[in-house]
Amino acid sequence: MTLVPETVAAWQRIRTGRTPVAAPAAASHAAYFLELLDGRAPSPDVARVLDVALTLHADHELNASTFATRVAVATLADLHAAVVAAIATLKGPRHGGANEDVLAMLLEIGDPARAEGYVEARLGSRAGLSKHERGDPRARVPGFGHRVYRVDDARARVLRGMAKSMAEATGRQKLFEVAERVYDAMRARTTLPVNVDFFSAVVYDALGIPPDFCTSIFAVGRVAGWCAHALEQFADNRLIRPRADYVGAAPRPLPADQGRRTETSMASSSKS
């Protein structure tokens, strides 16, 4: 369970020109990770904030990455492979990747006075787009909408309170204020619920975490859930293999010349 935070922290240090630090003796998983990241022990308050954030991200039923874990485990792939499948699935902007997009968006808005206009423009840009084009993350407001919830995610309420106090403690109130204005603008214009990624981005910003590192932090928390689901799947396993309904064209005869081409290419490939 410590391998993921160790790898994530080491990579962040290496890519910012620092060398990884030796594993410290820390009071909690969060404090351990923060010390690996910064090379010095965090204050108890900061460690507590990350502890709560990681706990809130640890598990969430059959979300996409957890489902990917179970599918991999069900084939009897090993735990490492299953976690790799989960990380790959988490990366997408419709899942954990939204974390990064939220922070990038809030930083791009920059000023609370610009939030309303930004949301208006981003939602307005959807007019005239096809359904497929509206699926592009750039035509959506990250941090809103959920495949299951129709009301605000309960975790967002906790993260919102933490984001506020952390932003005040670190002098990053402006970003929190931007987030509040985006939230209000989305409330006024849509029925989309706020999800876990929205206010967690403000918390991560207050912890000094850059946008392109947010999804990795999500993985540091969610690996607990992935492993728990993996163990459960191993304990009572059966291959996960959904069926699909074919909804394409009905069987139809091939045009005569196409049929001949297919026969010819099959004949030549059987000789090779």
Ligand X SMILES: CC(C)(COP(=O)(O)OP(=O)(O)OC[C@H]1O[C@@H](n2cnc3c(N)ncnc32)[C@H](O)[C@@H]1OP(=O)(O)O)[C@@H](O)C(=O)NCCC(=O)NCCS
Interface ranges with ligand X (CB under 6 A): 94-95, 98, 131, 134, 140-147, 192, 195-197
Which is catalytic among the residues 146, 152, 184, 212?
146
Nearest approach in angstroms of CB 104 to ligand X is 12
Nearest approach in angstroms of CB 70 to ligand X is 18
- Identify which of residues 32 and 118 has a Cβ nearer to ligand X in the complex: 118
Nearest approach in angstroms of CB 156 to ligand X is 10
Which is catalytic among the residues 51, 152, 153, 197?
197
Active site residue 29: no
Do the Cβ atoms of 218 and 198 come closer than 8 Å?
no
Which pair of structure tokens corresponds to residue 16?
């910012």
Name the 3-class secondary structure at 103: helix
Cα gap 190→146, rounded to integer Å = 13
Strands (E), 203-257: none
Residue nearest to ligand X (CB): 145
Do the Cβ atoms of 11 and 20 come closer than 8 Å?
no
Report which residue type is found at 257.
Answer: D
**Which are the contacts of 130, defined by CB distance < 8 A and separation ≥ 6?**
none
- Identify which of residues 66 and 195 has a Cβ nearer to ligand X in the complex: 195
In the numeric block, the tokens 């890519």 are attached to 15
Nearest approach in angstroms of CB 162 to ligand X is 18
Active site residue 197: yes
| Vertex 81: Cα angle to 78 and 87 (nearest 5) | 140
Question: Where in the sequence numbering do the catalytic residues fall?
Answer: 146, 197
